Amino acid sequence: MPLGGSHASFSDYYFELKAPGARGFRAVVETSLSNPFYVFNEVFGPKRLLYLLHLFVPLLFFPLRAKATWIAFVPAAVFTLMSSRDPLYEIYFQYTVFWAPTAFLMLLMVLDRKFIATDRRGALAANVVAVLLTTLLSSYYYGSVFESPKMKGGFGAISYEWIEQDATRLAAFRELASQIPSDASVAATSREVPHLSNRKNAYSLLIGYFDADFILVRRAQVGPNQPARRAYLEALATGRYERVASKDVFILWKRSE
């Protein structure tokens, strides 16, 4: 994330911490240094506190029970809690992985320091069982293992039902994807690009098409008012992309040489 210059990168995620007209992450740093009370009020708002509870209640706050462990969470806190966009501090999005590895590592360190180093094996066993129970309860209400109705993936609810339409759609996607050489670059709509990312160059149309060799889209995600529509139309406007095939809800385009 650039500290200076006009390149905004993903610093736009922190628009509430930037002065009007300012660009780049340097503006966020300047606000943090010049108005720390404002930043503190933003970081510890109700939604962010709920997010922290989702993260640490299942672990009974053990990762935070030693002062030395707090510093390990600074990068995750800066990236998520300081954000002005809800997805960065909701457990339904991928940004939680900034916390999870460190949280579990700090859990082990604190348990070792408090119980193993002091030879309190009975207390260790009791607390491990307690953590397992709270984690199980949290997974039951918010996780995916037990198909909780509260479980979401990103902005939408997760359905575990597999119907004939799903099988047909998957077959259609695989048929079109198989026509893209493994060494070719590809730009695709957000739901499809993860399934095409086992290559050197794969791009999300949410960001751009980057003169990719192939473009694969889901029609609904390039429709009116869809974020990926701009890059999609820009690519087609070049006149360099030829329609290879369409199947079910997908369209495959190839760039002419």
Q: Which residue has the tokens 């293992």?
A: 145
Q: Over the Cα atoms of the chain, what is R_g?
A: 23
pLDDT at 2 over 50: no
Residues 48-57: pLDDT tens digits? 999 999 999 9
pLDDT tens-place string over residues 63-114 = 999 888 889 999 999 889 988 888 899 998 989 999 999 999 999 999 999 9
pLDDT confidence band for 1 (50 / 70 / 90): very low
Determine the Cα–Cα distance for residues 162 and 105; give it in Å rounded to an integer.
36
For the chain, how far is it from start to end, CA to CA, in angstroms? 34
Percent of the chain scored above 70 by pLDDT? 96
Residue 154, helix vs strand vs coil? coil
pLDDT exceeds 90 at position 144: no
More confident residue, 42 or 174: 174
pLDDT at 238: 96
